[in-house]
Amino acid sequence: MSDTIKYLLPESDIPKDWYNIVADLPEPPPPVLHPGTHEPVGPDDLAPLFPMALIMQEVSAERYLEIPGPVRDIYKQWRPSPLFRARRLEKALDTPAKIYYKYEGVSPAGSHKPNTAVAQAFYNAEEGIKKITTETGAGQWGSSMAFAGAFFDLEVQVFMVKVSYQQKPYRRALMESYGASCIASPSDTTQSGRAILEQDPNSPGSLGIAISEAVELAAQRDDTKYSLGSVLNHVLVHQSIIGQEALKQMEMAGDYPDVVVGCAGGGSNFAGIAFPFIGEQLRGGQSIRAVAVEPAACPSLTRGQYAYDFGDTGNLTPLTKMHTLGSSFMPPGFHAGGLRYHGMAPMVSHTKELGLLEAVAYHQTPCFEAAVTFARSEGIIPAPESSHAVKGAVEEAMRCKREGKSETILFNLSGHGHFDMAAYTDYFSGSLEDKNYDEQSLSDALAKLPPVAAS
Ligand SMILES: *Cc1c(COP(=O)(O)O)cnc(C)c1O
């Protein structure tokens, strides 16, 4: 049998609807609260930041939400994305497990993020918005939004976490190639940025700070909205296209996963692959184990508290109940910048509380080791974020070997690492460090959770 087994769907099989897990969960998630009054927010409270169509998706309880024609048309450039059977990796690991992976690195920006960027750009343009502000960590989201903005004539302004801005000039160049502007955050162009710089002129920045800056600008202008690349319900809904396609492709393969694995930063690609399978289970279909893999240096699902918290450092966003390390928590540096966020998608957190998913955390060195094994057997260089999913899948495959089980493992390879080769260079030179977060600063950050956390 051939070692390369690829399951490709025809273009006509791009799903016509996104999937919304809320419709199938036994309990709805806790409400989103206003940061000042602590009362549940309504659609109007979110209107300064997001177009109404996205707000309605954010609060929707419908199982299926139709994908607009123009969005599906752009998806056709790279979707349906391929699903592979990782036969060579199975051999390299000498495991009886069957390993499949869905590859989202085929998008022009190199990750799953354009799945939601295109949708968000479409709805903003439809409502007459001219400009989008957003933040980016390692640059994956910023380049995805820049890519999508170019298709809908939207001006895109990206606040890029300063340390990444300095370390990843090529991601910045990619954003600029798509026509976006990119500012290092914290910057002196916003009040939130200036407040941080006053305290620490050399602040390396964080996603939480960059979000504050982008939100502040969007709130000031009618023709400008804010866009977030993960965490929110509507983002998770857009990413469901990954799992929806994977369901069909597993059927083509005549197989069904026992375990579904994804890396989790804000939770969107993990939810994207896992929620459609969890939905099948909730509607009486086959059961799966869903495993979210996070970085040990920023472990919101495995070490965070399930509590109401802000999404940003400047505390401008509404309060959501999620697994959080505290909005003032500063994780130590590591290469998977896209996983360096203090919170987790409220819907992923809620689903975990319901006992429908598991979480594990690994340090970066073992993740790079798994990624290199993967690259040498499958030929694709995983993004540092995605290397966590690879590690999670390899661990499951090794467990199958110990237990003599031939389970089926499906994981999401959320992106390629072509812009992250400096991280691989560090790995090969042995200069990667697995830094632990500081226990004291975690308890300090948790102690500062807003008081509603107790309720
Ligand atoms: C941004 C990013 C992630 C993490 O974000 P999620 O919302 O948790 O999916 C993972 N992988 C890649 C390649 C990314 O760019």
pLDDT tens digits for range 420-451:
999 999 999 999 999 999 999 999 999 999 98
Tell which phi-psi region holds residue 160, choosing left (phi > 0), alpha (psi between -120 and 50) or beta: beta
**For 148-152, 338-342, 367-371, which range has the lowest pLDDT when averaged over its residues?**
338-342
Q: With cut-offs at 50, 70 and 90, classify the pLDDT of residue 1.
A: low
Furthest-apart CA atoms within the chain: distance in Å: 63
Q: How far is the CA of 198 from the centre of ligand 1 (A)?
A: 31
Give CA–CA dist 348/29, Å, rounded: 10
Which of 12-21, 36-45, 158-167 ranks highest by mean pLDDT?
12-21
Task: For residues 24-50, give the mean pLDDT.
Answer: 94
Q: With cut-offs at 50, 70 and 90, classify the pLDDT of residue 206.
A: confident
Q: How far is the CA of 412 from the centre of ligand 1 (A)?
A: 10
Put the strands of the sheet holding 131-136 in their side by side order.
181-185, 155-161, 131-136, 224-226
Decide if pLDDT at 455 tops 80: no
Tell the residue nearest (CA) to atom 3 of ligand 1.
Answer: 338
Q: With cut-offs at 50, 70 and 90, classify the pLDDT of residue 24.
A: very high
Q: How far is the CA of 113 from the centre of ligand 1 (A)?
A: 7
How far is the CA of 67 from the CAs of 118, 120, 124, in angstroms?
11, 12, 15
- pLDDT per residue over 404-414, tens digit each? 999 999 999 99
Give backbone dihedrals phi and psi of 81, rounded to 5 degrees, phi first.
-80, 155
The minimum-distance atom of ligand 1 relative to the CA of 339 is 4
Helix (H, G, I), strand (E, B) or coil at 294: strand
Tell the residue nearest (CA) to atom 10 of ligand 1.
Answer: 385
Tell which phi-psi region holds residue 402, choosing left (phi > 0), alpha (psi between -120 and 50) or beta: alpha
Q: How far is the CA of 136 from the centre of ligand 1 (A)?
A: 11
Q: How far is the CA of 1 from the centre of ligand 1 (A)?
A: 34
Tell the residue nearest (CA) to atom 13 of ligand 1.
Answer: 415
Q: How far is the CA of 264 from the centre of ligand 1 (A)?
A: 7
Q: Which of 103, 106, 112 to mutate to test the pocket of ligand 1 (most atoms within 8 A of CB)?
A: 112
Decide if pLDDT at 22 tops 90: yes
Decide if pLDDT at 167 tops 90: no
Tell the residue nearest (CA) to atom 1 of ligand 1.
Answer: 338
The beta strand positions in 189-250, using DSSP E, are 224-226
Q: How far is the CA of 404 from the centre of ligand 1 (A)?
A: 32
Q: Which of 164, 233, 268 to mutate to test the pocket of ligand 1 (most atoms within 8 A of CB)?
A: 268
- pLDDT per residue over 297-336, tens digit each? 999 999 999 999 999 888 888 999 999 999 999 888 788 8
DSSP state of 413: E
Tell the residue nearest (CA) to atom 5 of ligand 1.
Answer: 265
Q: How far is the CA of 269 from the centre of ligand 1 (A)?
A: 6
Decide if pLDDT at 454 tops 60: no
pTM here is 0.97
| 309 burial level (CB within 10 Å; 0-12, 13-18, 19+) | buried
Put the strands of the sheet holding 83-86 in their side by side order.
4-7, 83-86, 98-103, 408-413, 259-263, 289-295, 358-362
Decide if pLDDT at 73 tops 70: yes
Give CA–CA dist 187/216, Å, rounded: 12
Q: How far is the CA of 385 from the centre of ligand 1 (A)?
A: 6
| CATH numbers and ranges of domains, the chain | 4-13+78-110+240-454 (3.40.50.1100), 18-66+113-226 (3.40.50.1100)
Q: With b meaning 16 or more CB within 10 Å and e meaning fewer, what string describes 107-135?
A: bebbbbbbbbbbbbbbbbbeeebebbbbb
Q: Which residues are near ligand 1 (CB < 6 Å)?
A: 111, 113, 140-141, 230, 263-270, 338-339, 383, 385-386, 414-415
The minimum-distance atom of ligand 1 relative to the CA of 272 is 9
Please report how many Cα atoms fall inside a 13 Å half-sphere around the Cα of residue 127, on the Cβ side.
21
Rg (CA), the chain: 20
